[in-house]
Amino acid sequence: MMKSLLFLVCTLAFVAVSAQKVKLIEGDLSALKGATSINTRFVYENITIGKNEEKESDYITRRRSEINAKTPGKGDSWAEDWVNDRKNRYEPRFNDVFNKESGMTVDPNAKYTILFKTMNVEPGFKSPMGFGNKDAEVSGEAWIVETADPSHVVARLSVMNAPGRMMMADFNESIRIGESYAMAARGVARFIKKA
């Protein structure tokens, strides 16, 4: 029984890693050879939500209304969390996983910076019955720039469909999305290591 469970967890982890696609759009990563540290910054402009690519501002307005209609005030809290989770959850998860997978430390004084530009977020959902679940996903671009001169772009990577799932804990939207950022970090770190 324990071996079967371990096999299932390993299989799901492999599927999660292989589901996302990281590829080089332009430039090259040779500047990062031998680097032991890198800075990270996150950009949240012009984000779309879900497969219908709803504007984020429209999505927040709609969801706030829907949640407030069920429980007054709860939608307002949800809207605050939607933005605050970026600094409180997603960025720390990205940095933590990137550190572990790349062997580099995240350091604001590093010569190069990863600008992670989120383009689309699929929040996903978890059905209490376990049927019809949808994993969270994050898509975006990772720009490698000089920290002192961010207009000097060394390379651009696309990160598509980084999945976020946590088995039993993924009823929580911010946990699912946080895991998408963790998977994005893993994909970027592994791509940089391979280059």
pLDDT digits (tens, 9 = 90+) for 25-48: 999 999 999 999 999 999 999 999
Q: Which long-range contacts (CB under 8 A, 24 or more apart) does 94-97 make?
A: 94/40, 94/42, 94/181, 94/182, 94/184, 94/185, 95/40, 95/185, 96/182, 96/185, 97/182, 97/183, 97/185, 97/186, 97/189
Whether 131 has a pLDDT exceeding 70, the answer reads no
Average the pLDDT over each of 24-28, 83-87, 130-134 and give the range with the smallest value.
130-134
Q: What is the pLDDT of residue 170?
A: 58
Q: What is the pLDDT of residue 5?
A: 39
Q: What is the pLDDT of residue 168?
A: 56
Whether 18 has a pLDDT exceeding 80, the answer reads no
Other Cβ atoms less than 10 A from the Cβ of 189: the count is 23
Task: Give mean pLDDT, residues 78-90.
Answer: 97
Q: What is the pLDDT of residue 116?
A: 98
Closest CA to 173 of 137, 129, 146: 137
Give dist(CA 107, CA 158) in Å, integer: 23
Whether 143 has a pLDDT exceeding 60, the answer reads yes
Give dist(CA 151, CA 145) in Å, integer: 7
Give the predicted TM-score (pTM) of the model: 0.86
Give dist(CA 44, CA 97) in Å, integer: 20
Averaged confidence pLDDT in the chain: 89
Task: Give mean pLDDT, residues 162-190.
Answer: 86
pLDDT digits (tens, 9 = 90+) for 148-161: 999 999 999 999 99
Average the pLDDT over each of 59-63, 76-80, 126-130, 173-177 and give the range with the smallest value.
126-130
Give me the percent of the chain exceeding a pLDDT of 90: 77
* pLDDT-derived band at 16, boundaries 50, 70, 90: very low
